[in-house]
């Protein structure tokens, strides 16, 4: 699967708009918040020990996965589903 296939482009363009459309600043802010939050949560996730703290690993993966799906990042969400379970 290529990165092109791993993103639901229809979902992402519905949220952020199509190329050439004026940018919806509120949605752009939400996207920036998602990137910042995902970055922070991925740092937290990578520092956790899945053997001694599986609940915390599942929680962080779940939070990132839900937000990723909202923006159409289906492959990323699928990987996080594996981590979560």
Write out pLDDT tens, residues 52-71.
Answer: 999 999 999 999 999 998 88
Question: How far apart are the C-alpha atoms of 1 and 46, rounded to whole Å?
Answer: 24
Query: pTM to 2 decimals?
Result: 0.72
Question: How far apart are the C-alpha atoms of 63 and 80, rounded to whole Å?
Answer: 9
pLDDT at 4: 63
76, 81, 85, 82: which is closest to 8 by C-alpha? Answer: 76
Position 5 pLDDT exceeds 70: no
Cβ proximity of 23 and 11 under 8 Å: no
């Amino acid at each position: 699967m290529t990165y092109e296939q791993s993103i639901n482009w229809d979902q992402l363009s519905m949220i952020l708009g199509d190329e050439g459309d004026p940018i919806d600043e509120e949605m752009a802010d939400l996207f920036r918040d998602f990137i910042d939050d995902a970055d922070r949560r991925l740092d937290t996730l990578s520092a956790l020990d899945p053997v001694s703290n599986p609940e915390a690993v599942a929680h962080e993966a779940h939070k990132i996965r839900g937000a990723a799906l909202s923006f159409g990042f289906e492959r990323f969400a699928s990987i996080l589903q594996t981590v979560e379970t």
